[in-house]
Structure 1
Amino acid sequence: MAIRHITRSFFALLTVLVSFSLPTQAQETLRVGLAAPMSGPFLEFGKQMENGINLAAETVKERGGPDIELVIADDKCTRDGAKAAANQLVGARVDVVIGHVCWGASVEGARIYADADIPQISPATRHPSFTDEAFGKPGLRFRLTGRDDHFGRIAADYLKTLSISGRVAVLHDNSAFGKDTATRLKDALETAGTRPARFEAFQSGLSEYGSLAIQLEADAIDVVFLGSYHADAALIVKALKERGVAISVVGGDAILVDDFLLQAGDTAEGIQAIAAPDPRQLLTDPDLLATFKEKDIEAFALTIPSFVAVELIVSALSANPADLAKGLLETEHGTILGPIRFEQNGDSNLPSFVPYVWRDGAFQHKVGP
């Protein structure tokens, strides 16, 4: 792709310093496309991304970097919407696209950007195919999140550290989400040499799960994974705690919601989960959150990764002004989330999943035993 020539520049983010050579001539405008849901039920995700990109662009300019023009296209988080949005951005001759959020939209957009030789950085697409498929031209897609297919291995390794007896139960609610999550975990445990003592579906929507708690206690289970949504998980946790059953309970990201606490009450304390990392807890300097607030910007799930995407773009162009995609692949980039580097397929070194524990009314990244 013929990128507009951006000379080497000095870029510093707030209190995090990332140094490049100072520009030696006037810089041209860098056109960044934002492909995200800007209407409909997922509008909030698009606004988070827009806020992160705008704050980053402002910071870049303040530190002597290039002007950044943001071109926004609403993909509605649908495949058809993504096709229209991608064609709009190609027509606008953007230099790079930050987006999309939804997997189907990302894949549809990727094909169109590949045809136009436009690099794409997604802060949210976790499906393996986004970077595994070349779409005709490899080396143009990058993700700032983990991969769904890493869940089983990471969760299996973690559950094995919790289990003393090796008697692990993997349960699910028979929903597509719950069954898929539980199956990934079961397969990974078996690959690692641990066959779950129980792998089965439970009946979702019951008013209480006392009988399930009795069964788990009778089977001497010491760790149970719940592939379910928060409502059932909360009731199962209550049943176990009320019976005094000493079982470590681990869920997926579906229990990382306030409603889990409302329904589980005090019994939620100590419950664990394996989920995507909260970028706020990965910041190299936690005081940066105050800077976001000073700008009236909440650092939600996609705000920080979108900010980081701009950091990466400027860093890549400093390393290789003629080819942004190669600059992303060839260099380790300093960001507010720490050093980021990309594999040849566009996956980053950011963690895919981390353990959480519910303490004092909130889920926190778990550190230590």
Structure 2
Amino acid sequence: MRSLNKPTLIGSAVLAAMGSLAMVSTAQAKDVIVKIGHIAPLSGPQAHYGKDNEQGARLAIDDLNAMKIQLDGGTAKFELVAEDDAADPKTGAIVAQKLCDMKVNGIVGHLNSGTTVPASRIYHDCGIPQITPSATTPKITKQGFDSVFRVIAHDGVLGVALAKFATADLKAKKFVVIDDRTGYGQPLADIFAKQVQAGGGQVLERQYTNDKATDFAAILTSVKAKNPDVIFYGGMDAQAGPMLRQMKQLGIKAKLIGGDGICTTELSKLGGDNVGDNVMCAEGGMALSKMPGGPAFEKRYKDKFKSDIQVYAPFVYDATMTMGMAMKEAKSADPKKYLPKLKAISYKGVIGTISFDENGDVKNAPVTVNTYGAKGKTPLTIIQ
């Protein structure tokens, strides 16, 4: 009996071992790790933007994982690789190369135009698709890279819309234009100034600062002597806030107008009691309250992070989801396989339907002009 049963027992043991190996193999095959790089300033004066962006990306990562997407023979497990570029182009390039060396599957970022432009070439050269949710200089998508996309209106759209609003709606005639000399602020100011002049307005003076400045006494003293109707500032809220305080101290009555860089909830804190209907700003998209999925997204965001949305979190969320949906359609996280799907995608997101033109810019991007009142930022009009 023993001799007859021994082969059977051995066979059973072999089959059991093979079954165990199969179970291990199956378990291993269940998770396909998909790394999405997200880059923004997480330190310095723009850290509140960067954290806002990162949190938008994390919400999307949670939702993608909940979908149990099947990629490359298994279930995708999306992971966010968050990096700090400190809003510095050199740091941004170093981080970009680091993510290339890590062979991440896609990039959502950078936040700033100045960091996005040099980084975009690095990602293109190493074959990683990139979607920027917030960098607005037209240069990004005019480099001829077929792997670079944007889900927000660029400065060519924003600057023109703001200039038309200032001259046609506000009936402003005299302007002073100030910018921070960054890859974002300077081109936006240039576009605004050119369009104002085309619309019959007069640019009395161009002034320049930098994205680290907080003292604008010399600039504003010169501006006060010109008595403009409007001061346009091309830059971020970390400078616009102190500028507004100092405008009040000097008795300057001009309205301050800027792009999406100053269009934050933080501006009300930074600018103190000189932030009201004298401040107007444009966002490259619908106001949060007007976005198709805006109110629901805002509730989820506040419930999870216990903070208000600054500006770009919905755009970051949609950029991350759009990339994930392209992978889903391709059934692969391999950039070469999902890039064609990304080019052709039509995704209904929080901000609206996302599809891209031949340059990689989002189609039909609206612009919302906002002002500030007792309840904070309030949409005035939508230009499309």
> Structure 2 length as normaliser, TM-score?
0.69
Instruction: Give the Cα separation in 2 of the matches to 1:107 and 1:255.
Output: 21
Q: Cα deviation per residue 1:265-298 (whole Å; 9 max; x = unaligned)?
A: xxx6543523225763453231332212222253
- Residue of 289, 296, 315 corresponding to 2:298: 289
Instruction: Give the Cα separation in 1 of the matches to 2:283 and 2:223.
Output: 29
- Residue of 280, 288, 312 corresponding to 1:280: 288
* 3-state SS of paired residue (1:131): helix
Instruction: Give the Cα separation in 2 of the matches to 1:326 and 1:48.
Output: 30
**Structure 2 equivalent of residue 341 of structure 1:** 355
Shift of the alpha carbon at 1:353? 4.0
**Structure 1 equivalent of residue 53 of structure 2:** 49
Alignment of 1:1-369 (within 5 A): 28-65=32-69, 66-134=76-144, 138-162=145-169, 168-172=173-177, 183-191=190-198, 194-196=199-201, 199-200=204-205, 204-206=219-221, 209=224, 224-228=229-233, 229=240, 230-231=243-244, 234-235=247-248, 249=255, 251-253=257-259, 256=263, 257-258=267-268, 262-264=272-274, 270-271=277-278, 273-277=280-284, 280-285=288-293, 286-296=295-305, 298=307, 299-321=309-331, 323-349=337-363, 351=365, 353-367=367-381
Would you say the 8 A contact 2:178–2:189 is kept in 1? no
Would you say the 8 A contact 2:193–2:203 is kept in 1? no
**Structure 1 equivalent of residue 8 of structure 2:** none
The amino acid that maps onto 1:321 is K
Shift of the alpha carbon at 1:133? 0.6
Residue 58 and residue 238 in structure 1: after superposition, are their counterparts in 2 closer, same or farther (change >3 A)? same
Structure 2 unaligned runs (5+)?
A: 1-28, 70-75, 208-217, 234-239
Shift of the alpha carbon at 1:207? 11
Would you say the 8 A contact 1:119–1:324 is kept in 2? no
Instruction: Give the Cα separation in 1 of the matches to 2:40 and 2:180.
Output: 27
Percentage of identical aligned residues: 19
Shift of the alpha carbon at 1:84? 2.4
Residue 154 and residue 43 in structure 1: after superposition, are their counterparts in 2 closer, same or farther (change >3 A)? closer
Instruction: Give the Cα separation in 2 of the matches to 1:163 and 1:346.
Output: 33
Shift of the alpha carbon at 1:349? 3.1
Would you say the 8 A contact 1:51–1:297 is kept in 2? no
Instruction: Give the Cα separation in 2 of the matches to 1:44 and 1:174.
Output: 21
Instruction: Give the Cα separation in 1 of the matches to 2:84 and 2:203.
Output: 45
Q: CA RMSD in A?
A: 3.7
Shift of the alpha carbon at 1:91? 2.0
Instruction: Give the Cα separation in 1 of the matches to 2:382 and 2:83.
Output: 43
* 3-state SS of paired residue (1:346): coil
* 3-state SS of paired residue (1:125): coil
Return 334-343 or 153-162, whichever deviates more. Answer: 153-162
Instruction: Give the Cα separation in 2 of the matches to 1:325 and 1:347.
Output: 15
The amino acid that maps onto 1:231 is L
Return 336-345 or 150-159, whichever deviates more. Answer: 150-159
Would you say the 8 A contact 1:90–1:113 is kept in 2? yes
Shift of the alpha carbon at 1:94? 1.2
Instruction: Give the Cα separation in 2 of the matches to 1:305 and 1:368.
Output: 17
Instruction: Give the Cα separation in 1 of the matches to 2:186 and 2:94.
Output: 34
The amino acid that maps onto 1:327 is K
Shift of the alpha carbon at 1:139? 1.4
Shift of the alpha carbon at 1:186? 3.8
Shift of the alpha carbon at 1:236? 9.9
Shift of the alpha carbon at 1:26? 5.6
- Between the two proteins, the alignment pairs up a number of residues equal to 318
Shift of the alpha carbon at 1:160? 4.2
Return 140-149 or 229-238, whichever deviates more. Answer: 229-238
Return 123-132 or 149-158, whichever deviates more. Answer: 149-158
> Structure 1 length as normaliser, TM-score?
0.72
Residue 237 and residue 329 in structure 1: after superposition, are their counterparts in 2 closer, same or farther (change >3 A)? farther
Instruction: Give the Cα separation in 2 of the matches to 1:332 and 1:68.
Output: 21
Instruction: Give the Cα separation in 2 of the matches to 1:345 and 1:310.
Output: 19
Instruction: Give the Cα separation in 1 of the matches to 2:92 and 2:179.
Output: 31
Would you say the 8 A contact 2:134–2:312 is kept in 1? yes
Residue 107 and residue 239 in structure 1: after superposition, are their counterparts in 2 closer, same or farther (change >3 A)? closer
Instruction: Give the Cα separation in 1 of the matches to 2:186 and 2:323.
Output: 38
